[in-house]
């Protein structure tokens, strides 16, 4: 993992304390999630997708290989292009949500008002609230099988108040083909391990969305002078006499790592959304909703 996360290695007893603290905070996180949803929900009517259904969705240009029977000749007669008439998908869809429980997610620098863990959980609950209103089936790998309920966010919060499985990546044994998964993590594990895990899920016909949560200090590397960096996962330590001399090289490695993940996701047909904890959570929620709705991702965009 890149240096810059300075959380102490936690013991078993500390993990129990953290679990209790998370249970206490979960109601507040649920309230915050609903507040965020209320700021972005106006004018939205669920996520619309092309598929089998009765309702008209959109016209789009004809592409070679499509069914000729779906051409709308009346619309095509208006100009020099041939258009297909798409219908809206009406069946409930399964979306799995997962927030990384790793110790590194607890990091919070002075430049951020929330930890990476808090932001990830708020986004999971906000998505559960938003998608359940659209009639989608919501699940949480290793914690909760998919359900279709208006109170899905409450039910996710309730199960996460208990013993939260400490998977370093979402378990995929229950994930089914054609479902989708949203993975919210700082993605600080070794890069080859992350890409292999993503490939394993992608090969099963599951569409994914990676949200890379970063504290601003992990991007800007504001450290100077003698600084000790501690890895919350392994307990390893690195002492730099003049930390500012590492900034340029660190930034190059960090951004190259992020771009590698973004390119890998694009090749798989997945989306990749970087998000900093000093930005509004609603920005990431809007970007996620757009990706789940099939809106193409703009390259280089940050939420």
Percent of the chain, pLDDT > 90?
Answer: 54
Within a domain: 273: yes
Cβ proximity of 236 and 208 under 8 Å: no
Longest Cα separation, the chain: 72
Q: Do 142 and 279 sit in the same domain of this protein?
A: yes
Contact criterion met (CB below 8 Å) for 138 and 131 = yes
Count of structural domains, the chain: 2
At residue 54 the predicted structure's pLDDT band, cuts being 50, 70 and 90, is: very low
Residue 218 lies in a domain: yes
Task: Tally Cβ neighbours within 10 Å of residue 57.
Answer: 15
- Residues 145, 241 share a domain: yes
Same domain, 189 and 288: yes
Within a domain: residue 27?
yes
Domain extent, residue 130, equals 12-48+91-292
- What is the four-CA torsion angle of 107, 112, 118, 124, rounded to 10 degrees? -120
- In this structure, the answer to whether residues 216 and 79 fall within a common structural domain is no
- Encode pLDDT of 228-285 as tens digits: 999 887 888 999 999 999 999 999 999 999 999 999 999 999 999 999 999 999 999 9
pLDDT tens digits, one per residue of 163-172: 666 778 999 8
Assigned domain for 5 exists: no
Give domain status of residue 301, yes or no: no
Alpha-carbon span 206 to 268, nearest angstrom? 10
pLDDT at 86: 66
CA dihedral for 293, 294, 295, 297, sign (positive or negative): positive
Residue 264 sits in the same domain as residue 163: yes
Checking if the pLDDT of 110 tops 60, the result is: yes
Whether residue 112 sits in one domain with residue 73: no
């Amino acid at each position: 993992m890149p240096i810059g996360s300075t959380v102490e290695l936690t013991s078993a007893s500390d993990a129990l304390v953290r679990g209790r603290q998370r249970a206490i905070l979960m109601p507040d996180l649920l309230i915050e999630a609903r507040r965020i949803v209320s700021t972005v929900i106006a004018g939205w009517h669920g996520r619309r997708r092309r598929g089998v259904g009765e309702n008209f969705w959109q016209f789009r240009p004809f592409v070679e290989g499509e069914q000729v029977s779906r051409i709308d000749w009346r619309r095509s007669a208006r100009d020099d292009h041939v258009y297909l008439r798409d219908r809206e998908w009406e069946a409930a869809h399964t979306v799995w949500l997962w927030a990384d429980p790793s110790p590194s997610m607890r990091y919070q620098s002075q430049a951020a008002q929330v930890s990476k863990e808090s932001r990830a959980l708020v986004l999971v609950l906000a998505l559960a609230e938003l998608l359940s209103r659209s009639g989608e089936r919501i699940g949480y790998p290793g914690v909760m099988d998919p359900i279709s309920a208006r109170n899905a966010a409450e039910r996710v919060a309730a199960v996460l108040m208990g013993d939260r499985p400490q998977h370093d990546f979402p378990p995929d044994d229950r994930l089914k083909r054609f479902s989708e998964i949203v993975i919210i993590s700082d993605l600080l594990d070794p890069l080859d391990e992350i890409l292999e895990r993503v490939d394993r899920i992608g090969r099963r016909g599951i569409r994914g969305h990676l949200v890379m949560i970063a504290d601003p200090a992990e991007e800007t590397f504001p450290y100077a002078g003698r600084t000790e960096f501690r890895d919350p996962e392994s307990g390893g330590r690195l002492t730099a006499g003049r930390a500012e001399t590492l900034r340029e090289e660190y930034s190059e490695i960090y951004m190259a790592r992020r771009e590698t993940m973004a390119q890998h996701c694009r090749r798989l047909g997945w989306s990749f959304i970087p998000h900093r904890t000093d930005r509004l959570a609603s920005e990431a929620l809007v970007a996620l909703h757009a990706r789940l709705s099939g809106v193409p991702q703009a390259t280089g965009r940050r939420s």
